[in-house]
């Protein structure tokens, strides 16, 4: 606990870290308070964006739709707010599961070494042999589109990064004599892993995970953009971007940026979101250095 | 048990002190693979410990000295099975430790303890000192948290680190303080045998004296046995009953300390003793034997006597025939073809 | 008289810890002349390593801080240098051999790579030359089979070999000042003799200076010209080696000398100084040694300054004049040997 307070104190020493933390906190609160910020139109399925017409032409910001509407009259503001929830949900679920699988496999491989290591790492290599995006798309084509299936497909092809990272890290930590000292004291294997190996090797993984909180939801958004993710009308930044793609430059001539709002609000949101997690990752990298922590 | 009974047990123990062998090491070997190339294939072996035999009697302190890299730490760690041996036997109270399964070995863990050479890498940087010292107690399910910390406090006091520091992390201590934390960690388990690997080399003279006195007190009190690995010969001389001298993975001489220090029969022992620095700036040692030549590598040891590349008494036969470790006087073992020459020189 | 290379003036170094701020070094003064070796000895935890880290400006960034003092190296206060200039001083001008070889070496690079990198950086050698140079340095410090050992990772080396790698790395750029923090504790005495010999030779060759931090009074006697004895963050005795060893004038120095097991005589029990070093939060008032000093008097409740026992020989003890007589009264104890 004291350690945690220290980490916080260090975080707040640099303005850049503060910016990262504020951004991440901002998105977290948007996700939490989404029902207040943008009351759902269909309470039984709040993720569906309210549609205020069927016109194919986007409408500029107005008191009813402060960020304007997309083609098909979906409210951009609503999409941005509830899309935050989608993004965080995707991130937490996918990265959480990938972490569990990756840490388990990487730790076992590094701790036992020998054939266990050989076997687990070969399996990891097999998964790594698929190009990430191709693999994910193939799996989605097999199990069908939809936000849940997208998450599964991402987990299946993402845990390897963590497995490798934690394995390398543990192999390094294992060389320290305190691990041998623990054996000499009769400490059981499980405790050696949880008390000595993981605490000293988990940080690179946490940093990586924080960076991935920026990219994984964007990958999911990209899949939605391709039509493989969320169904039409689902509050998701990928959807918003996908709706905007025909309106970035006015299709019919005249003022080329007449429909700026269709792409402006979603992309600013996405950029800020990615920036926030990246800054947080950097901050963690700085402060989790074992010599500086504690 | 009444006090008289305890006393009588102690006296019988003291009587048997001279004959009861606690630990016997027989033909111990440890080879490390040398890996090279992209596939990290094994291209050779570092013969870190090559056919080493000696014994330790109950309640005695056996000093182990020798060149850096000659395999002292490896001997200590294989005896405790912290690294797996390549060959040989270690009998502890007549049980061959190398034949035990990992599970069976657990029973012996708290009895056989080690003080590690490197006080930096042997303490987990993310654990508090109290948890580091209590780790063995916890593993052996001794006491509850409160009792364990009570013991931790007691032993911190004994090794001379203020218990007010128990909540700190290792990097907040100096080298010597860390070494004492490592000592406390080993002592708190009440072991029977302690392998002390350079246990006092990071300590300044007065703390060193304190710790050596403490080790001595504990030996008196609990009849502890030490395998004491050290470079500082004055310290070895002070603590040991007998001394083993190693060179390049082999034992070259074993004798009780008086004989080793006054009448060394192996040329390497002699060179070692002559290099011992004397804490007096006005004394310039003239008898110092500076060994010539490179330290050979344990991956590719010289033929015959391993010391022949640097020995000033070497004869042609030394390069061909390996001298056996022979008992030349009662309890005095030496591995040299020409130990007699040295004995004459000493006189 | 040789030129002053380094002058440490009134150095104060503190650590900001969880429980508050502690002063690990309190007002240390010393100087090092060109070509000279200064030995620093003292109780473990008395601030020797922190002093050297302060000179290198390598204190832990978040917690360590130099609050006062000057460190004049070649006429310039290096505490005032910007970090990028300090980087050029480190390694090239002032090199350090660390007390902990394992943490100071990077576990993921081979020993050779680490030496070669230093040389590439500071001497501007090509990669290939740097590698050959590293092999040469390994040979110089007595590492067997240097051509092979450069490919070893630190954990594949014994404690002694690691320490020699550190020494090779520090000496590789011919620094004008070498700070060696316990460089030989991990070495056996024959290698230690070799390494000390090597250091002496290289120091002479390049007219470099050495600060030798060690616990081994034998090593100090062998290599140093002057010695500083530290206790609880302060220098308590300072002077040339022969004088301090023959005529120790501070009770702590005397205790230290009594405590070493002597190579010539055997004793039943070693004489250690009673009690423990005061912890940094609870420094005694006045003389910091007064809670353990057998000669303490009422006056010792005040902090003694450094008195000049004789020219160039300083002692931080109120009773520096009487100490000799006091010692004589204790029968059978002969301290300054000879
Ligand atoms: N894990 C390992 N892999 C390869 N070689 C090793 C390994 N551990 C030790 N060695 C080698 O085995 C030999 C003996 O090492 P060991 O640490 O036992 O020496 P030591 O006598 O304790 O030396 P020191 O006094 O310097 O600590 C050395 O040559 C060392 O390089
Ligand atoms: N990072 C740190 N945080 C808090 N206190 C520290 C830190 N580093 C050192 N100290 C404290 O500063 C004091 C001086 O430490 P230093 O390492 O200089 O001792 P030393 O004289 O080198 O001892 P040794 O001979 O045992 O290495 C010690 O009491 C130590 O506990
Ligand atoms: S056997 Fe020969 S080479 Fe070996 S120590 Fe004896 S004299 Fe020297
Ligand atoms: S000043 Fe007093 S307490 Fe301090 S060392 Fe001298 S006699 Fe001892
Ligand atoms: Mg060793
Ligand atoms: Mg130190």
Note the pLDDT of residue C183: 84
Of A179-188, B143-152, B227-236, where does mean pLDDT reach its minimum?
A: A179-188
Give the model confidence (pLDDT) of C206-248 as tens digits: 889 999 999 888 899 989 999 999 999 999 999 999 999 999 9
Q: B175 CB under 6 A from ligand 2?
A: yes
Kindly give the pairing relationship between strand C76-77 and strand C94-97.
unpaired
Report how far residue B126's alpha carbon sits from residue B117's, in angstroms, rounded to the nearest whole number: 20
The response to whether residue B271 sits with its C-beta less than 6 Å from ligand 3 reads: no
Note whether C128 and C206 are same-domain residues.
yes
Quick: pLDDT tens for A86-110: 889 889 999 999 999 999 999 999 9
Using DSSP, state whether C8 is helix, strand or coil: strand
Short-list C301, C334, C332, C330, CA closest to C318: C301
- Tens digits of residue pLDDT in A169-226: 999 888 888 888 888 888 888 989 998 999 888 888 988 898 898 888 888 888 887 8
Task: Give residue B17's pLDDT.
Answer: 45
C31 has a pLDDT exceeding 80: yes
C306 is a domain residue: yes
C189 shares its domain with C88:
yes
Least CB–CB distance from B66: residue in C100, C188, C260: C188
Q: Average pLDDT of C33-37?
A: 93
Closest CA to C92 of C123, C47, C64: C123
For a ligand 3 pocket test, name from B246, B312, B313 the mutation site with the most ligand atoms within 8 angstroms of its C-beta. Answer: B313
Q: Using an 8 Å CB-CB cutoff, list chain C residues near A6.
A: 18
Across the interface, do A175 and C108 touch by the CB < 8 Å criterion?
A: no
Mean pLDDT of C75-84: 90
Q: Among C224, C244, C277, which residue terminates a domain?
A: C224
Which ligand lies nearest to the CA atom of residue B64 in the structure?
1
Give yes or no for a contact between C41 and C230, defined as CB atoms under 8 angstroms apart: yes
Asked if C108 and A292 come within 8 Å (Cβ–Cβ), the reply is no
Q: Note the CATH architecture for domain B3-111+191-277+286-346.
A: 3-Layer(aba) Sandwich (3.40)
Question: Is C184 in the same domain as C245?
Answer: no
**Final residue belonging to a domain, choices C224, C255, C289:** C224
Atom of ligand 1 nearest to the CA of B34: 4
A114 CB within 8 Å of a chain B CB: no
CA distance C75 to chain B (A): 31
d(CA B181, CA B152): 10
Name the pLDDT band for B115 (thresholds 50, 70, 90).
Answer: very high
Which residues are CB-contacts of B141 (< 8 A; sequence separation ≥ 6)?
none
Residues C258 and C220 in one domain: no
Q: Print the domain residue range for C273.
A: 230-331
Residue C193 has its nearest CB partner, among B275, B283, B294, at B275
Instruction: Give the residue from A174, A180, A292, A293 with the most C CB atoms within 10 Å of its CB, the best one to mutate.
Output: A292
Distance in angstroms (rounded) separating the CA atoms of residues C195 and C203: 12
Which helix (H) or strand (E) covers residue B11, if one does?
A: helix B3-16
Give the whole-angstrom CA distance, residue B33 versus residue B341.
38
Give domain status of residue C337, yes or no: no
Task: Say yes or no: A294 contacts chain B, CB-CB below 8 A.
Answer: yes
User: What band does A290 get if pLDDT is binned at 50, 70 and 90?
Assistant: very low
> pLDDT band for position A285 (50/70/90)?
confident
Chain C contact for A293 (CB, 8 A cutoff): no
Å from CA of C21 to ligand 6 middle:
20
The CA distance from C146 to the nearest CA of chain B, in Å, is: 10
At B3, the pLDDT band (50, 70, 90 cuts) reads very low
Question: Which atom from ligand 4 is nearest to the alpha carbon of C251?
Answer: 5
Contacts of A2 in chain C (CB under 8 A): 18
pLDDT at A292 over 60: no
What atom in ligand 3 is closest to the CA of residue B337? 1
CA distance linking residue A220 with residue C145, whole number of Å: 56
Per-residue pLDDT tens over the stretch B60-109: 999 999 988 889 999 999 999 999 999 999 999 999 999 998 888 888 99
Q: Which of the residues C20, C59, C62 would you substitute to probe the A interface, choosing the one with the greatest number of A C-beta atoms within 10 Å?
A: C62
Contact A294 B189 (CB under 8 A): no
- Report CB contact under 8 Å: B281, C44: no
C304 vs B18, residue with greater confidence: C304
Q: Is the Cβ pair B297, C148 closer than 8 Å?
A: yes
Provide the strand spans (E) within chain B: 21-36, 41-57, 61-66, 87-92, 95-96, 112-115, 193-197, 225-229, 242-247, 250-256, 326-329, 332-334
pLDDT at residue A243, rounded to an integer: 77
Domain boundary among C202, C224, C246: C224
Per the structure, the count of domains in chain C is 2
> What distances in angstroms separate CA C334 from CA B198, C94, C255, C329, C338, one per listed residue?
29, 39, 12, 11, 9
If one counts every other C-beta atom within 10 angstroms of the C-beta of residue B286, the result is 6
Q: Are residues C220 and C234 in the same domain?
A: no
- Is the pLDDT reported for residue A114 higher than 80? yes
ipTM greater than cut 0.95: no
Ligand nearest to the CA of C53: 2
Domain boundary assignment for chain B: 3-111+191-277+286-346, 125-186
The interface residues of chain C toward chain B in range 199-228, judged by CB-CB distance below 8 A, are: 215-222, 224
Q: Which tokens in the block code for residue A183?
A: 């054996």
Domains in chain A: ranges and CATH: 2-288 (1.10.3720.10)
> What CATH number has the domain bearing residue C78?
3.40.50.300
Distance CA B22, CA B44 (A): 35
- In angstroms, rounded to a whole number, what is the distance separating the alpha carbons of residues B326 and B254? 10
Cα gap A282→B46, rounded to integer Å = 43
Q: Domain for residue C25, yes or no?
A: yes
**Can you tell me the distance from the alpha carbon of B347 to that of C18, in angstroms, rounded to the nearest whole number?**
62
B275-325 confidence digits (pLDDT tens): 888 888 887 766 778 777 667 878 888 999 999 998 989 999 999 999 999
d(CA B324, CA B280): 39
Quick one: DSSP state of residue C278?
P
Cα distance between residue A277 and residue B6, in whole Å: 68
Give A282's contacts (C-beta < 8 A, 6+ positions apart).
A16, A17, A20
Q: Is residue C134 one of the residues assigned to a domain?
A: yes
Q: Is A201 exposed, middle or buried (0-12, 13-18, 19+ CB in 10 A)?
A: buried
C37 and C186: one domain? yes
Q: How far is the CA of C247 from the centre of ligand 6 (A)?
A: 26
Mean pLDDT of chain C: 86
CB C42 within 8 A of CB C91: no
Distance from CA of C159 to the nearest CA of B (A): 7
Q: Whose CA is nearest to atom 20 of ligand 1?
A: B69
Give the H/E segment covering residue C38.
Answer: strand C37-42
Once rounded to an integer, what is the mean pLDDT over residues B180-190?
92
Residue A159 has pLDDT above 70, yes or no: yes
What residues in B contact A183, CB-CB < 8 Å?
82
d(CA C293, CA B196): 31
Distance in Å, alpha carbon of A8 to nearest chain B alpha carbon: 17
> Do C48 and C190 have their domain in common?
yes
For residue A51, give how far its alpha carbon lies from the nearest alpha carbon of chain C (Å). Answer: 54
C51 lies in the same domain as C105: yes
């Amino acid at each position: 606990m004291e350690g945690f307070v220290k980490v916080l104190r260090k975080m707040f020493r640099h303005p850049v870290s503060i910016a990262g933390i504020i951004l991440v906190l901002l998105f977290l609160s948007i996700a939490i308070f989404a029902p207040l910020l943008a009351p759902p139109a269909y309470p039984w399925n709040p993720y569906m964006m309210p549609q205020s017409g069927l016109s194919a032409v986007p409408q500029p910001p107005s008191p009813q739709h402060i960020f304007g509407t997309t083609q098909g009259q979906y409210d951009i503001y609503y999409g941005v707010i509830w899309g935050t929830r989608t993004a965080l949900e995707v991130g937490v679920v996918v990265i959480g599961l990938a972490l569990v699988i990756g840490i388990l496999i990487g730790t076992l491989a590094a701790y036992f070494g020998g054939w266990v290591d050989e076997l687990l790492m070969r399996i990891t290599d097999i998964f790594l042999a698929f190009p990430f995006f191709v693999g994910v798309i193939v799996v989605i084509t097999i199990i069908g589109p939809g936000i849940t299936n997208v998450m599964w497909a991402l987990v299946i092809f993402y845990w390897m990064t963590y497995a490798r990272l934690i394995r390398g890290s543990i192999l390094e930590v294992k060389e320290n004599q305190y691990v041998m000292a623990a054996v000499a004291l009769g400490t059981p294997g499980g405790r050696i892993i949880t008390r000595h190996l993981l605490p000293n090797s988990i940080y690179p993984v946490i940093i990586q995970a924080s960076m991935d909180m920026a990219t994984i939801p964007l990958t999911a958004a990209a899949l939605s953009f391709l039509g493989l993710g969320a169904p039409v009308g689902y509050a998701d930044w990928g959807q918003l971007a996908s709706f905007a793609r025909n309106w970035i430059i006015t299709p019919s001539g005249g003022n080329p940026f007449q429909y700026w709002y269709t792409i402006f609000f979603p992309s600013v949101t996405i950029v800020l979101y990615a920036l926030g997690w990246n800054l947080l990752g950097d901050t963690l990298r700085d402060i989790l250095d074992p010599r500086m922590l504690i | 048990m009444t006090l008289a009974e305890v006393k009588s047990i102690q006296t019988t123990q003291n009587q048997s002190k001279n004959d009861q062998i606690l630990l016997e090491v027989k033909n111990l070997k440890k080879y490390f693979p040398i890996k090279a190339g992209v596939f990290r294939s094994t291209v050779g072996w570092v013969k870190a410990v090559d056919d080493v035999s000696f014994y330790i009697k109950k309640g005695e302190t056996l000093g182990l000295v020798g060149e850096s890299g000659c395999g002292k730490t490896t001997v200590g760690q294989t005896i405790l099975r912290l690294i797996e041996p390549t060959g040989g036997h270690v009998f502890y109270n007549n049980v061959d430790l190398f034949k035990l399964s990992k599970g069976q070995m657990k029973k012996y863990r708290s009895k056989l303890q080690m003080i590690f050479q490197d006080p930096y890498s042997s303490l987990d940087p993310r654990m508090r000192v109290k948890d580091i010292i209590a780790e063995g107690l916890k593993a052996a399910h001794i006491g509850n948290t409160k009792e364990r910390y009570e013991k931790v406090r007691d032993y911190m006091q004994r090794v001379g680190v203020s218990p007010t520091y128990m909540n700190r992390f290792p990097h907040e201590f100096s080298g010597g303080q860390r070494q004492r934390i490592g000592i406390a960690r080993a002592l708190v388990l009440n072991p029977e045998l302690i392998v002390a690997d350079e246990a006092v080399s990071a300590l300044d003279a007065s703390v060193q004296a304190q710790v050596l006195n403490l080790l001595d007190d504990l030996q008196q009190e609990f009849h502890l046995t030490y395998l004491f690995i050290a470079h500082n010969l004055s310290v070895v001389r002070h603590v040991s009953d007998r001394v083993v001298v190693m060179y390049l993975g082999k034992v070259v001489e074993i004798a009780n300390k008086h004989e080793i220090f006054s009448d060394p029969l192996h040329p390497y022992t002699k060179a070692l003793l002559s290099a011992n620095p004397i804490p007096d700036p006005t004394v310039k040692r003239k008898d110092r034997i500076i060994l010539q030549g490179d330290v050979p590598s344990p991956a590719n040891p010289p033929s015959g006597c391993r010391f022949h590349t640097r020995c000033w008494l070497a004869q042609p036969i030394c390069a061909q025939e390996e001298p056996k470790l022979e008992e030349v006087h009662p309890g005095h073992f030496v591995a040299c073809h020409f130990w007699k020459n040295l004995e004459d020189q000493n006189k | 008289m040789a030129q002053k290379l380094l002058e440490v003036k009134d150095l104060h170094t503190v650590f900001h810890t969880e429980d508050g701020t502690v002063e690990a070094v309190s007002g240390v003064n010393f100087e090092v002349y060109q070509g000279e070796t200064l030995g620093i000895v003292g109780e473990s935890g008395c601030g020797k390593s922190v002093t050297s880290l302060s000179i290198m400006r390598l204190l832990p960034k978040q917690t360590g801080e130099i609050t006062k003092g000057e460190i004049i190296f070649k006429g310039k206060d290096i505490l005032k240098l910007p970090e990028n200039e300090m980087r050029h001083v480190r390694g090239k001008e002032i090199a350090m051999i660390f007390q902990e070889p394992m943490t100071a070496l990077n576990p993921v690079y081979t020993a050779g790579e680490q030496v070669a990198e230093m040389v590439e950086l500071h001497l501007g050698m090509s990669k290939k030359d740097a590698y050959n140079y590293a092999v040469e340095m390994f040979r110089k410090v007595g590492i067997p089979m240097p051509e092979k050992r450069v490919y070893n990772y630190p954990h594949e080396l014994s404690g002694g070999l690691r320490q020699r790698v550190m020494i090779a790395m520090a000496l590789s750029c011919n620094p004008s000042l070498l700070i060696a923090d316990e460089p030989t504790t991990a070495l056996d005495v024959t290698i230690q003799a070799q390494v000390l010999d090597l250091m002496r030779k290289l120091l002479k060759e390049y007219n470099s200076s050495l600060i030798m931090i060690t616990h081994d009074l034998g090593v100090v006697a062998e290599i140093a010209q002057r010695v500083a004895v530290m206790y609880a963050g302060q220098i308590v005795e300072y002077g040339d080696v022969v004088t301090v060893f023959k005529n120790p004038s501070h009770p702590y120095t005397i205790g230290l000398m009594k405590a070493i097991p002597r190579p010539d005589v055997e004793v039943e029990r070693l004489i250690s100084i009673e009690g423990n070093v005061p912890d940094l939060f609870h420094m005694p008032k006045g003389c910091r040694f007064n809670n353990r000093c057998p000669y303490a008097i009422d006056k010792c409740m005040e902090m003694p300054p450094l008195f000049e026992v004789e020219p160039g020989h300083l002692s931080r003890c109120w009773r520096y004049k009487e100490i000799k007589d006091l010692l004589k009264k204790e029968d059978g104890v002969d301290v300054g040997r000879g």
